[in-house]
Amino acid sequence: MIGLLRAAFVVVLAAIAVEILVVPRAAHRALDPDEPIAADGSMIAGRAQTIYDTNPLLGAFGETRPDPDDPRDFEQRIAIEKWGTDHARDAMLQQIGPVDGSLCRPAVHARLMTALHGYYDTRGRQKHSFSLRGPRATAAIEREWSTPADRRIDAFVRQALLSGFVHKNEVLEHYLPEFEKTFADTEEVGAGCPPTKTDKGDVKF
């Protein structure tokens, strides 16, 4: 019985070998674009699709990239960043008050400088970011930061600088180009409070 099984197994193997060697193979169909590899087993199929072809976010269907200076694109970004804009603006508005000796009190002065840095940092970063998109985005973000509240903030800071209750060397000007540009022509003519910061390399508020 065992001998018969062995003989049958040998016959089957022989038949398979004959089919592989003698029977002609069917022609392989043309490579489908969705096949991950080429017919020869390589990974360089002439038009095999990759993730860059199948992911719509990567231009799978030849769609054009959005124009960053298109209002439909940058207005959405302005809306997304509105929370940060309002937060920085509101924090600075809360510091507006009489420009007098009360601004020299350490706790009051520290709060003012923290709000000032946050406000002009946010304003400057957004203006720079949108300026890279194009002229329409630049004009839109300029309007966003030119509200009556923003003009009120600039007027307050300018008066504090002129009166000496805020000093330019207290502000991290090299980190805040927006502040430096806004008050480039404002000279300190008063001496309300002594400067609380003179080392511009020391990041502290």
Per-residue pLDDT of the chain (205 residues; tens, 9 = 90+): 656 656 665 665 666 665 655 555 545 454 444 445 555 555 555 555 555 555 655 555 566 667 788 888 888 888 888 999 999 999 999 999 999 989 999 999 999 999 999 999 999 999 998 888 889 999 999 999 999 999 999 999 999 999 889 988 888 766 688 999 999 898 887 777 766 654 444 333 3
Q: Please tell me the total count of domains within the chain.
A: 2
Q: State the angle between helix axes of 135-144 and 71-80 in degrees (0 to 180), rounded to the nearest 10.
A: 30
**Which residue spans within the chain are E strands per DSSP?**
none
Instruction: Say yes or no: 95 and 173 in one domain.
Output: yes
pLDDT at 199: 42
Instruction: Say yes or no: 161 and 97 in one domain.
Output: yes
Neighbours of 173 (CB within 10 A): 17
Instruction: Say yes or no: 53 and 146 in one domain.
Output: no
The whole domain housing 59 covers 32-65
- Domain assignment present for 6: no
Instruction: Say yes or no: 142 and 82 in one domain.
Output: yes
Q: How far apart are CA 70 and CA 67, in angstroms?
A: 5
pTM exceeding the 0.75 threshold for the entire prediction: no
* Cα end-to-end span (Å), the chain: 96
pLDDT at 169: 85
- Domain assignment present for 192: no
Instruction: Say yes or no: 53 and 139 in one domain.
Output: no
Instruction: Say yes or no: 135 and 94 in one domain.
Output: yes
